Chains A and B, each alone.
Chain A
Amino acid sequence: MRLDDPHEEARRVLRLCNVCNYCNGYCEMFRAAERHRTFSDGELATLAHLCHNCRNCWQACQYAPPHPYAVNVPLVLAELRLLSQAELAWPRPLPHLGLLTLGVTLLPVLLVLLLVPGEVLFAAHTGPGAFYRVVPWGVMSLAAAIPLGWSVLALAVGVARFWRAGGGGSGAEMRAAAPEAIRDAVTLRNLDGGGAGCDEGYGSLSFQRKRFHHLVFAGFLLCLASTSVATIYHHLLGLEAPYPYLSLPVILGSLGGLGMIAGSLGLLGLKRGANPATSAPAAQESGRLLLIQLVAMAVSGLVLLALRDGPAMGILLALHLGTVLGFFVALPHGKFAHAPYRAAALLRAALERRKDER
């Protein structure tokens, strides 16, 4: 009974879910779906991003295969998340994102090997401005700013299209709903399976995914904070990197890096145990790519920190820079995009909830 087109399949399945309703304690997706009698593509995309892929509804479904109704909500919504992001993306998604990312990651290493004289690259540099003796500050900043700016623009266009396709909304409505949406995004309220924990593969429930995700997210924010503090040091206080081990940027960045490594490895481990019946292979792949990128960024940063006073600093700096650039390039078309799309979907849900209450 499963239909080939994910949009049509999602319509078929959610129509059935709306008649059944048994899963509406699990998450906002089901409660939001109940507001619709028909589903536009944009509404489906919003519902797809409301799904945090906890998979409890799959275990609980009385109509899951081998039942002839063949209901598999997590699978069709995972497919739809990818499809809708590709359809809404501007510019069109890049093919072979993994290879491209790998190339960008290794490019700075290649460039410093080619362009920086060996006696500079492999010398021990210490003191303020040590990094910039290998890669000048201006080059480093520009190399980061261009792909980041481009990616943020592309992501913004995609999310804006997503928001409009999901029904738009006035600024006042959005502001009013924002606190609830932020709460839901930060606490991952929809990744606790209605309070029971999430299915970790074959019916056993736990809060591991939520906790690992919290680690990754907190780690990412700490790294962002580290970079922001370093920017202030550089421009306002006139202090140049590298910073001492007990300085704020290093402490924030180190803690953030450790959080990202622990959380990402945890999530990668859970992915290995995931039930293939509910997993869209392409979604798994893009999730894995992001987690590997986060680990690579954090590990290369920490190794650079440890060995920055020695002769390997130049190569390590280029490698760390490469992992960051690779992350920036993959930003709008990889798994990272789920964050703003999901935040927008949670905003939509909060907004609709407020309308219901009125």
Chain B
Amino acid sequence: MSSPPPALPPDQPDCDVAIVGGGTAALCAALAARRKGASVMLLDQAPPDQRGGNTRHSRNLRIMHGAPSPLFPGSYDEADFAADLTKAAEGAENEALAQVLIRQSATIPGWLAAEGVVFQTIACGGLPWSRKTAFFLGGGKAMINTLYATATRLGIAIHHHSHVTGLTPDGLVTMCDEADKARTIRAKAVVVASGGYQANPVWLAEQWGDDAAALVVRGTPFAAGEPLRALFDLGAARVGTPGACHLVAVDGRLTEADGGIVTRVDGLAQGIAIDRDGRRFEDETAITGPTRYAQWGRRVAALPGAIAHAVWDEDGIERTPPAILEPIRADSLEALAELLDMPLATLAVTAADSGRVSRAPFFTVPIRPGITFTCYGVKIDDHARVLTDDGQPLGCLYAAGMIMAPNVIGTGYLAGAALTIGAVFGRIAGEEAADHALG
């Protein structure tokens, strides 16, 4: 015969610090809080094999550093980093927080290495030349695996399948568990590190309308943004722009979530890009450099139906970089017009005018805008406390990662910055939340 469990006092907390999320910011917050002596619960919506948020698809961190090292050639000083950040944020960044980000970035490789993370050295070979970013050996998922292993070893309670739907300023976290059972976690402080709402087409439709459904989710399918919505509902001040997001041109045949970086469409400068009516809409050769994927993503999203088609001829296709799927082949312009359901006359004029698409057979790939993250979140102070519109901390709630990234990068994008924001503000939020909880 089992005795009934002893009744807990009604205000007995389940942990000192609850972390909402499962990516870089969440793990860094969890580890930092645990290292301060707090008991920590990490609530991640994903199942174990999809843990890690968008970090699974990432590879590098943007780091300030003064001299060449095994991880970087050259140097990248504070002014360099600040200039890049201001340019990306178009001046929308909070300067004090940007300075925190930049200065603390310098300590992140060492801090992560102490938690077991291994970086890929230049000597190892295979890396692109990068003065500004450090690469994880094996990429983001390897880093995530290491941090989860460390977190487990340190006694952090990790709960996957934990779908957080509600928050209160005094540390109550409402969630559904694996069996879809509602549960409330009581914590002395809560770090919300659940990212944006890029996987929530209903919310995106508020600005995007019907086109929201055409956006391919490039990363985790669990970024529906409920914790962000909960913070807004509690009166958190907003930063960034509703509906603003990072978009990338992806292969329209690969529409499942979690495609990561291999679904990007490249090589458009070797061919042409046409809209659904068969007309070009850009000078393809003018869109170059590492931001070309994002430039194309934005342009395709603005087209009717949010779709475009890349077309190459036999010479052009030879010069495109390799992709994971073969392009679709059409043996003649007539066959291509039929395949793409376009008027042959328009297509023929487009092809002839371009000067780049002349020799059959032709090859085509549908292009869709892929959404990486949204640029709309909550305002924080330099303790990573969530602020209300009147500038007051919102109870015991802290925020880190993409949910607060617009504080430092506006609606812009800078390679490797998202992970640095997650690590720097995750660590701050974890330490501050632990201090708050342990009083």
Contact = CB atoms under 8 A, between A and B. Distances in A.
- From A16, A31, A63, residue with most partner B Cβ within 10 Å: A63
Interface of A: 15-16, 18-26, 30-31, 34, 37, 56-57, 59-63, 66-69, 194-196, 203-204
B79 interface: no
B322 A22 contact: no
Interface in B180-194: none
B398 interface: no
Given A25-B120, A195-B118, A203-B149, A16 B324 contact: yes
B149 A204 contact: yes
A60 B126 contact: no
A16 B30 CA distance: 33
B13 interface: no
A147 B416 CA distance: 59
A62 B140 contact: yes
B339 interface: no
B168 to A, nearest CB: 35
A15 B149 contact: no
Interface string B232-275: 00000000000000000000000010101110000000000000
Nearest to B323: A19
Contact of A16 (B127, B141, B262): B262
Interface residues of B, number: 30
B148 to A, nearest CB: 9
A34 B321 CA distance: 12
Nearest to B119: A25
B324 A22 contact: no
A77 B322 CA distance: 21
B127 A19 contact: no
A21 B139 CA distance: 9
B124 A194 contact: yes
Given A19-B324, A24-B125, A63 B149 contact: no
Interface of B: 49-50, 56-57, 59, 118, 120-121, 124-127, 135, 137-142, 145, 149, 256, 258, 260-262, 321-324
Contact of B260 (A18, A56, A62): A62
A25 B127 contact: yes
Given A16-B324, A62-B56, A66-B50, 19 more contacts: A15-B324, A16-B262, A20-B260, A20-B261, A22-B140, A23-B138, A23-B139, A24-B126, A25-B137, A25-B138, A26-B138, A31-B126, A59-B138, A62-B140, A62-B141, A194-B120, A194-B137, A196-B137, A203-B145
A155 to B, nearest CB: 31
Contact of A26 (B127, B137, B145, B321): B137
A16 B50 CA distance: 19
B140 A194 contact: no
B126 A21 contact: yes
Contacts of A34: 126
A307 B14 CA distance: 67
A25 B138 CA distance: 7
A37 B318 CA distance: 11
B199 to A, nearest CB: 16
4 shortest interchain CB distances as A-B pairs = A22-B139, A24-B126, A60-B138, A25-B120
Contacts of B149: 203-204
A56 B142 contact: yes
Contacts of A63: 260, 262
B47 to A, nearest CB: 9
A258 to B, nearest CB: 34
A57 B138 CA distance: 7
